[in-house]
Amino acid sequence: MGLFDDDFYSTKVSRRKSGKSKSTGGYADGKWAVRKSKRSLATWQISLISSVCSAVVAVLLFSLVTGQFAAERAQAPVVIDKVAASSADPYDRIIQAAAHIRPAVVSIINHKQDNKELNILDESALGSGVIYKKDDNKAFIITNNHVIEGAGKLEVVTVDGVTHKAELVGADKVSDIAVLSIDGKGIDRIAEIGDSSKLRLGETVIAIGNPLGLGDTLTSGIVSYTERTIPVSLNQDGVYDWEQEVIQTDAAINEGNSGGALVDLDGKVIGINTMKISDTGVEGLGFAIPANHVVDTANELTSKGRIARSYLGVYSVDLNNPYVPLADDQRKELNLPSVVTDGVVVLDAVGPAKDAGLQLNDVITKFNDKPITSTLSLRKYLYDHTKIGDKLKITFYRNGEVKQTTVQLLEKPEE
């Protein structure tokens, strides 16, 4: 059915009656036939005109409706999804980010033995590094302290395959950061450092480095956790005496990746790969030191050669350590009140602690009235809340009696 009712162009025509039906019957029949033919033609013309009119009206209505929508779209503000506009093809972005950062990531060879007489080099450690700064014809490289620890000779291999002799500028065991320097000639690309505080859970990242000596290797994954705190043993003795804040990622990290770059899709370094958890049934647990922490430490190492921290001078053991518990006879010897369950037992006192009168079997429980429950909390308070030269009030127990003393903190000596 069209836009108009069928009755409008109906072909039904009523027959006129005549009083002279017999004499004019034939004529009447012929006349009727002619009129019928003319009326059929007229009806066909009306139908054609109606169809054309219908089409014209339909076109006008369609144009009016679509024109109005087009005008509304033209007048409405265009909102661009910034995330979609910036993401484009994620795989293409990985390619672009890798191309941007590759020239700034190097391989590091740690020759732990250097026998010049026999001309023998023991390449006992491989790692990675990131060129983050260039100054006075020198290029400075960030890596991990454990990559260069115990080095007799250090070499850096750039992405173009050129080997450079490297010098150790400074290293810090606590943060696991070290800085090397090489001749800046031919070094054209410096890594762009990103803001690790703006990382988002699930953000795509890439890890690039020298795993197992396979330099210039790229892996990808996501940020599994932005600010993970994990316990570490600084002395590698199985006792956790420090905590490291790290970025957790499932990007594949293997031996040799340490010191390499963890990069976002803009090609900016947002972390320095430092460790992974490797055990049966464990997959995708890699960690990187956040870039914001790294840069502050690296700049101080570059300017001073070391990180200056407060020094108390005690060797200690935790009063309540589930991994290394004290024997019953040792606890009895301390003669502590039953309410004292946490603290740090002094095994030896040197430097400032000795000068302040601390001695064997003293149990430290507070610094400036803040609870000290373990060697970890003792070290974190010293490093995070005090400065060299500060006076520190210490609360401790000796033979069951609570005492206090004041210590003037010195700079931690180099090990």
Q: Catalytic positions, please? A: 146, 176, 258
* C-beta atoms surrounding 83 within 10 Å: 7
**Rounded (to 5) percent helix, strand, coil in the chain:** 30, 35, 35
Residues 6+ apart with CB under 8 A from 43: 9, 11
- Asked if 405 and 394 touch (Cβ cutoff 8 Å), the reply is yes
Cα atoms found within 13 Å of the Cα of residue 265, Cβ hemisphere only: 18
* C-beta atoms surrounding 172 within 10 Å: 17
Helix (H) or strand (E) holding 286: strand 286-290
Distance linking the first and last C-alpha atoms of the chain: 98
**Closest residue by Cα to residue 145 from 121, 169, 122:** 169
Residues 363, 367, 371: CA angle, nearest 5 degrees: 75
- Asked if 130 and 236 touch (Cβ cutoff 8 Å), the reply is no
Distance CA 93, CA 87 (A): 7
Distance CA 365, CA 197 (A): 34
Strand-pairing partners, residue 179, are 142, 170
Q: Strands, DSSP E only, in 269-382? A: 269-276, 286-290, 310-311, 314-318, 344-349, 363-367, 370-371
- By CB atoms closer than 10 A (0-12, 13-18, 19+), residue 356 is middle
Distance CA 295, CA 305 (A): 14
